[in-house]
Structure 1
Amino acid sequence: MMNPLTTAIGADTGAAAGRALAAIPSPETNSVSLGPLTLHFYALCILAGVIAAVFWSERRWHAMGGEKGTIMDLAVPAVILGLIGGRLYHVISDYQLYFAEGRDPWQAFAIWNGGLGIWGAVPLGALGVWWVARKRGLSMSQLSFAIAPTIPLAQAFGRWGNYFNQELFGAPTDLPWALEITPFDAMGRPRAGYIEGESLYHPTFLYESLWCLALAVLLVWAGRRFDMRGGRLFALYVMGYCVGRFWIEYLRVDPANDFFGLRLNNYTAVLVFLGALAYFLWAGRRLDSFSTRVVPVGHDAGTQMIEDDTPGSSGGAAAEAPASGGTDPGGTVPPDGPADQAAEDGPARQD
């Protein structure tokens, strides 16, 4: 069932949409074959996003005094769990696509055809980060500070996979940047969300990609300008993404479960936004209680062994708070004396 706003948009623009010239042509294929191997562009877009996020996170983490290679180590479980969580959310929230009469349940495993829910990917991916952080005695709040701006960057890359799959597009439109959609997929099946007689639609993949890029820039600026310790920068990312996603969901016309005129993802965005806001305010009153450790317990940080077991070191806040010093190319403001500061902190408190 289509929500009222989507219906109105379609009605207002439908007549002209078919006559407009598409500024964004539909891709002719969504994969390329290399011998017996088929590479799906959807997967390549996600892979590109992961690589960009890991590379940038490594630079931010190292600028904060952390060990090189830490982000690479935590990326493996984070990505694996993130993919599992993202797929589970998609399959559960859109179960009718796989388990309704006439559908093939085995397609629930065909991740290359699209279908990853960010609402499931981020929590399970964070679980992978927490697991590595706990093993090494690292601060989750510090890790979240380094990683926060890089996640929307990865999403900006990943959303282009929807373009190659011609999926998750918006209502018909005659705007100059309209996206051309073909009525059938590569297997001859009707394309989900396609409206007969309409060929041009809102490129919601592009809207979300641009929103995520802008959000990444905002997070870098906020991390420099304001005190974003205690995981507050990550909470700001969650809130910013939810705002954009709520609007973009209104434009989409692909089949989805909806209630009282709102798609399920609209409700999810509101609930997640409120949860992130509550955490942002809660953490803001407890900034000095968060661990600031960026090197493993007992590790030689290059100056001395970590032996001080006194929690709540008075200088700990500086390791995560923005400073007035120089910045690395990744946008991180390194604290003064990161290695020495980490050595002064006591056993990490997981937050």
Structure 2
Amino acid sequence: MLELIYPFNPIALHLGPVAVHWYGVIIGFGVILGLLLADKEGKKRGIPSGTISDLIILALPIAIICARTYYVLFEWSYYKNHPSEIIAIWHGGIAIHGGIIGAVLTAIWFCKKRNISFWKISDILAPSLLLGQAIGRWGNFMNQEAHGGPVSKSFLESLHLPGFIINQMNINGIYYHPTFLYESIWSFTGVIILTLLRRTDFRRGEIFLTYLLWYSIGRFFVEGLRTDSLMLTSHIRIAQLISVVLVIVSFVLAWYRRKKGFALLSSAAD
């Protein structure tokens, strides 16, 4: 019988001198599934073949760079003394909010160049973004990071978690909140909700705005449990502040677009 060894090795395999980390493998897997989901929906919505993959090929590296830059800037007190670690994303340390900013700006530029509605594309991609985030959190699991504060083993057992999760949350003899799991479940649930909302008479852009709203609400509460938050001040967590801002912006934009009578999702017009 195969015996699992805890904690899991964060390195999946070695290709000669190159170590392939589970963190990157899992994120890559999430990207592929997200691309397949978005490409299928794009064809239904009349998006020219290859458009979605072209956008993702362009936006993905920019999003990763922005996500890492965002994280490094808010942890500059550490990285200024360890410059060689700045590019070591395989050790973890990419901020989703930074990635969202990079991806959205890239998509706006791309859609303008291709003469395609940004809101139409963003509605198509929204469930894929959330799916990628849900899967990507398991990269944090393999690295034993993005966890919450200390808890008892009996607490984790009371959540009816599989043994491999409970054991992986044992870090140097102390058990921690599996906040990666809380956020992953929240995001997977959001994928289902966004997919169902596509069948409604939502206005163009409201699926994407619902994505921002859903993710931000979940992230706000999960972030409050984490021990590795990026901090603006000694009491203000950056992710929680950004989440509040995104909730407000999402509501305001959705209200504005409804008031102005923007096209329904089912409309062929951009």
Task: Report the TM-score, using the length of structure 1 for normalisation.
Answer: 0.68
Matches within 5 A, 1:236-275: 236-254=210-228, 256-257=230-231, 259=233, 261-275=235-249
Note closer, same or farther for the CA distance 1:247–1:255 as it changes in structure 2 (3 Å cut).
closer
Residue aligning to 2:127 = 149
> Counterpart of 2:19 in 1: which secondary structure?
strand
Render the CA deviation track for 1:14-37: whole Å, top value 9, x for unaligned.
xxxxxxxxxx95313334212232
Alignment match, 2:54: 73
Question: What per-residue deviation string (whole Å, max 9, x for no partner) do you get for residues 52-95 of structure 1?
Answer: 11111000010111222110111111111111111111111222
Note the residue ranges of structure 1 that are not aligned, 5 or more in a row.
1-23, 184-197, 289-316, 322-334, 336-340
Residue identity (%): 31
Quick check: 30-39 or 45-54, which moved more? 30-39
1:29 corresponds to which of 4, 7, 10: 10
Deviation at residue 255 of structure 1 after TM alignment: 5.8
Cα distance, 1:260–1:96 mapped onto 2, change above 3 Å: closer
- SS for the counterpart of 1:149 is helix
Give 1:76-225 correspondences, 5 Å limit: 76-99=57-80, 103-174=81-152, 175-176=156-157, 177=161, 178=166, 179-183=168-172, 199-225=174-200
Task: Indicate the SS of the match to 1:32.
Answer: strand
Aligned to 1:307: none
1:172-197 Cα shifts (integer Å, max 9, x gaps) = 122213442433xxxxxxxxxxxxxx
Aligned-partner Cα distance in 2 for 1:244–1:44: 25
- Note closer, same or farther for the CA distance 1:260–1:277 as it changes in structure 2 (3 Å cut): farther
Whether 1:42 aligns to 2:23 is yes
On the 8 A contact 1:43/1:161 being kept in 2, the answer is yes
What secondary structure does 1:259 align onto? coil
Letter in 1 for 2:148: G
SS in 1 for 2:249: helix
* Offset from partner CA, 1:296-319 (integer Å, 9 cap, x none): xxxxxxxxxxxxxxxxxxxxx46x
Count of aligned residue pairs for this structure pair: 255
Q: How far apart in 2 are the matches of 1:148 and 1:255?
A: 25
Provide closer, same or farther for how the CA distance between residues 282 and 84 of structure 1 changes in structure 2, counting only shifts above 3 A: same
- Change in 2 beyond 3 A, CA 1:153/1:163: same
Q: Is the 8 A contact 1:27 1:163 kept in 2?
A: no
1:311-330 → structure 2 map (5 Å cutoff): 317=263, 320-321=265-266
- Displacement of 1:267 after TM fit? 1.3
CA distance in 2, matches of 1:127, 1:257: 24
Give distance in 1, aligned partners of 2:74 and 2:8: 27
Out of 220, 229, 233, which is 2:207 matched to?
A: 233
Which 4+ runs in 1 deviate beyond 4 A? none
Looking at structure 1, the residues matched to 122 and 254 of structure 2 have their Cα atoms a distance apart, in angstroms, of: 13
Q: Is the 8 A contact 1:25 1:180 kept in 2?
A: no
Q: Which whole-Å CA distance do the structure 1 matches of 2:127 and 2:58 have between them? A: 19
Change (3 A) 1:274 1:255: closer
Greater RCO (Cα-Cα under 8 Å, separation 6 or more): 1
Q: Which amino acid in structure 2 is aligned with residue 212 of structure 1? A: S
Paired with 1:220 and 1:228, the residues of 2 have a C-alpha distance of 15
How many angstroms does 1:132 deviate by?
Answer: 2.2
Indicate the SS of the match to 1:273: helix
The DSSP-based 3-state class of the residue aligned with 1:220 is: helix
Shift of the 109–128 alpha-carbon distance from structure 1 to 2, 3 Å rule, reads same
| Post-superposition offset of 1:97 | 3.0
Report SS of the residue matched to 1:224: coil
Matched position secondary structure for 2:171: coil
Take 1:149 and 1:95, find their aligned partners in 2: how far apart are those partners? Answer: 33
Query: Greater CA radius of gyration, 1 or 2?
Result: 1
- Residues 246-278 of structure 1 show CA distances to partners (whole Å, capped at 9, x for unaligned) of 111111112642536342221121112211221
The answer to whether the 8 A contact 2:229-2:239 is kept is: no
SS of residue matched to 1:266? helix
The range that moved more, 31-40 or 204-213, is 31-40
- Return the alpha-carbon distance in structure 2 between the equivalents of residues 209 and 166 of structure 1: 15
Aligned partner of 1:223: which letter? R
Alignment of 1:53 with 2:34, yes or no, is yes
1:25/1:93 CA distance change after superposition, 3 Å: same
